[in-house]
Chain A
Amino acid sequence: MTHPGEITRRGLLRRIGMTAFVAGPGAGLLSACATAGTGGEPAPAPSITASADARNPFGVDAKKPLEVVIFSGGYGDAYARELHQELYKKAFPGVTIEHNATQQIGTQLRPRFVAGDVPDVLNNSGPESMDLAALAAEGHLADLAPLFDAPSIDDPAKRVRDTITPAVIDNAKIDGKDLVLNYTVSHRALWYNAALFASMGWAVPTTWAEFTALGEQAKKEGIALFAYPGQKGPYYQLWNLLYTAAKIGGNQVIIDIDNLAEGAWNAEPVKQAVTAWVEIQAKYGEKSYFGLDHTQTQVKHLRNEVLFYPVGSWIENEMAKDKPDDFEYAIAPIPDVTAADAMPYGAIQVGVGENFVVGAKGENPQGGLEYLRIMLSKEGARGFTERTKNLTVVNGAAEGLDLPAGLMSAARAQDSAGANIITEARFEGWYKELFDYGTAQTNAVMAGRITPERFCADLQEKADAIKDDASVPKQTRSR
């Protein structure tokens, strides 16, 4: 532990280095810049070990303050302020917590990380979320393995690892280490109004032929079969294309794309998926949606101008204020595209999201780990679901809660999907440039400005360019 005024070995080396630097003519000006620290390898993060003490496995010092930064987006920050932080204070009476809520994660925290003044718990989310791989390379992220191996708060006989969805562990890895906690679970597929289907006597289509037949019927009612927002939300459709490709060809399709494998985008399932959706858009869609954003499109969905909308289970809470009483959100799996899809009908995407990390070089990384352990307790998770109407990764935490209809439908869909869960595309976080390019090309192909073959070829070219770009750190996954 460093105390104020104490000179660490690293600090000493830096000071010597800086003196030499400042001695150069005119260098004084530069030393005030972001690029001041031009010397020295990043110091390795100190490791924390978990003891068997279920009350305080990380040896948290109650005298040390804890700083928590929350992205106050769709979930707000009340769950952290009123729930998780109160639980932490109860566990360590007298502790002070500095709570910061912001929507500008990157703007506020990037300079702090560069300067070495880092928070203990960070909810890295939103449009300005930071590149976790880059932070990990600097040793800024604490290893979460001790957290996953620590005893659970609810049952000290169990490890935290055994009380949460296994996908959390898969998605925690950066460069092979467990560094990121994904806290929420979402179900992505096509969302529709179950009440409208009931009143019209329509059945949810299970094959592409039924899907297009329903499209014809909906057309007669003046309803578009399908729409996605071309502004701000075209990535909903990029997900949909990828998940459809995985349904046709299996999860390996997405894994190959994530791994920048040769010819991954030119694979037959990707082409089939894109072709199928382009046809739906051309025959049963409406081009004005290319110019509408997610909120505008979702409002039209609520007005029954659109039947199916590709999104995740957060939609219900997002639109709760605008939702009329006769609208009932429900999830529909992607219909079978071919007669021989690798995944049977019913497969949906169930993914984890909402990143939390612990600052390794902060004042109180032990407290940060303990805070996450509290979030992963049943009480912490249950309260989060109550406040945000979103499920967490904690097994059974939502049991007995009065969940809204859409979440119930998602839970049932997951039950019937069984093992046929479509995996998430991780290149969204790994290679943002490829993902952004993909969303732009999605609009181009869906509007018919380029062919599906060209879409695949363009994305393959971009993926190859990223693969050859030495300045982009690479990640891989095996499952």
Chain B
Amino acid sequence: MRRWRTYGFVAAFLAVPLVLYTVFVISPYVQAFQLSLTSWNGYSSVVAYVGLDNFGRLFGDEVFWQALRNHGIMLLTLPVVTIAIALFLAFLLNLGGGPSGDGMRGLWGSRFYRVVFFFPQVLAVAVVGVLFQAIYRPDEVGVINGVLARLGVEPVGWLIEPGLALWSVIAVMVWQGVGFYVVLFSAGMAAIPKDYFEAAALDGAGRVRLFFSITLPLLRDTVQVGWIYLGIAALDGFALIQVLAGDKGEPDGATTILPVTIYNTAFSYQKVGYASAMGVALFFLTVTFAVLTLRTTRRERVEL
């Protein structure tokens, strides 16, 4: 009886979020799986089932593969670069000043920098997109090209050269993401007991040695979480690319990504069934990535 009461109490609290989650998250997923087996056009009252045809078509779809290649590049670069920069900055902000009085301290002015680094995170993605359009603008009016023009360098088409466009987009994602991970890693570093650093410093370890022998191993879990977040961000990028580079993967498909392709296929070309199949593929890609990352980076926990 008592047990029933406790569980009833818990269940009553869980019911509302569970219903909301089912209606707004689970059911659209189920529906996307269902639609991926149809040739529905978004209007028709007759929904024809076509089996796995849509998935068969995916294999021969050049745009789909191009999007996958772009996601691959983003998956390889975005997490590594963002985490490396964020770790470096977080270390400088928290421990870079060396030992002092009751523990480690950051570089001079680190409180100010911490706020500044977080600024980009506060901006909405659409704002960031518009901002960087002005920065990347391909004539002398552009921020970067204006500086280059003064130095006598020809303007660079940051977003219109097929070899450059994706890197320009990734740079913006890194710029926007770093601040959040600096804060995340700072919190992780604050949790590391100060005695460790003191002991190591007494033994004569320099800042580099402190970082690689103490900070990094003890931050492993936090970095792993950051890696998964960034990996998922690399599989998304919808809003930024839509605003910054346009919705057709310009130039020449260099910035084509799956979410934008799905949107166009469903709402511009009225192939809701086929777009759902792409969405299902993206779902499995994301899940596979998360599971793989967790598996490969798993190891014995370091007890503090």
Instruction: Tell me the A residues contacting B by CB distance below 8 Å.
Output: 29-30, 32-35, 37-42, 106, 110, 113-114, 128, 130-131, 134-135, 137-138, 140, 230-232, 286-288, 290-292, 296, 432-433, 436, 439-440, 443-444, 447, 449, 471
Beta-carbon nearest neighbor of B162 in chain A: A449
Contact A38 B162 (CB under 8 A): no
Knowing A290-B157, A449-B252 touch, does A436 contact B264 (C-beta < 8 A)? yes
Knowing A290-B138, A443-B251 touch, does A131 contact B31 (C-beta < 8 A)? no
CB distance from A475 to the nearest CB of B (A): 14
Contact partners of A32 in chain B: CB under 8 A: 27
Interface pairs (5), CB distance under 8 Å: A35-B35, A128-B267, A134-B44, A288-B157, A433-B269
Judge whether B106 is part of the interface by a CB distance below 8 angstroms. no
Our pick among B27, B160, B250, B264 for the contact of A33 (Cβ within 8 Å) is B27
Our pick among B34, B155, B251, B274 for the contact of A288 (Cβ within 8 Å) is B155
Contact A134 B43 (CB under 8 A): yes
Judge whether B114 is part of the interface by a CB distance below 8 angstroms. no
CB distance from B121 to the nearest CB of A (A): 27
Our pick among B41, B45, B253 for the contact of A471 (Cβ within 8 Å) is B41
CB distance from B250 to the nearest CB of A (A): 6
Beta-carbon nearest neighbor of B265 in chain A: A433
Contact A35 B34 (CB under 8 A): yes
Expressed in whole angstroms, the Cα–Cα distance for A33 and B47 within the complex equals: 12
Expressed in whole angstroms, the Cα–Cα distance for A440 and B155 within the complex equals: 22
Judge whether B120 is part of the interface by a CB distance below 8 angstroms. no
Instruction: Tell me the B residues contacting A by CB distance below 8 Å.
Output: 27, 30-31, 34-35, 38-47, 136-139, 155, 157-160, 162, 246, 248-253, 264, 267-271, 274
Expressed in whole angstroms, the Cα–Cα distance for A447 and B160 within the complex equals: 10
CB distance from A170 to the nearest CB of B (A): 24
Expressed in whole angstroms, the Cα–Cα distance for A287 and B47 within the complex equals: 47
Contact partners of B41 in chain A: CB under 8 A: 131, 134, 471
Expressed in whole angstroms, the Cα–Cα distance for A10 and B35 within the complex equals: 25
Expressed in whole angstroms, the Cα–Cα distance for A441 and B53 within the complex equals: 28
Contact A291 B159 (CB under 8 A): yes
Contact B43 A290 (CB under 8 A): no
Contact A440 B252 (CB under 8 A): yes
Contact B46 A440 (CB under 8 A): no
Contact partners of B35 in chain A: CB under 8 A: 35
Contact partners of B267 in chain A: CB under 8 A: 106, 128
CB distance from B184 to the nearest CB of A (A): 35
Expressed in whole angstroms, the Cα–Cα distance for A472 and B46 within the complex equals: 15
CB distance from B232 to the nearest CB of A (A): 25
Our pick among B138, B253, B268 for the contact of A292 (Cβ within 8 Å) is B138
Knowing A30-B34, A35-B35, A290-B160 touch, does A138 contact B45 (C-beta < 8 A)? yes
Beta-carbon nearest neighbor of A131 in chain B: B270
Contact A440 B250 (CB under 8 A): yes
Interface centre among A29, A135, A288, A447 (most CB of B within 10 A): A288
CB distance from B244 to the nearest CB of A (A): 10
CB distance from B153 to the nearest CB of A (A): 14
Expressed in whole angstroms, the Cα–Cα distance for A110 and B272 within the complex equals: 12
Knowing A231-B246, A440-B252, A471-B39 touch, does A40 contact B46 (C-beta < 8 A)? yes
CB distance from A182 to the nearest CB of B (A): 21
Contact partners of B138 in chain A: CB under 8 A: 287-288, 290-292
Contact B27 A29 (CB under 8 A): yes
Our pick among B39, B40, B159, B268 for the contact of A436 (Cβ within 8 Å) is B268
Interface centre among B27, B31, B35, B43 (most CB of A within 10 A): B43
- A-B pairs, 6 with minimum CB distance: A291-B138, A288-B139, A288-B138, A134-B43, A291-B160, A290-B160
Interface centre among A34, A40, A230, A471 (most CB of B within 10 A): A471
Contact B44 A291 (CB under 8 A): no
Beta-carbon nearest neighbor of A444 in chain B: B252
CB distance from A198 to the nearest CB of B (A): 28
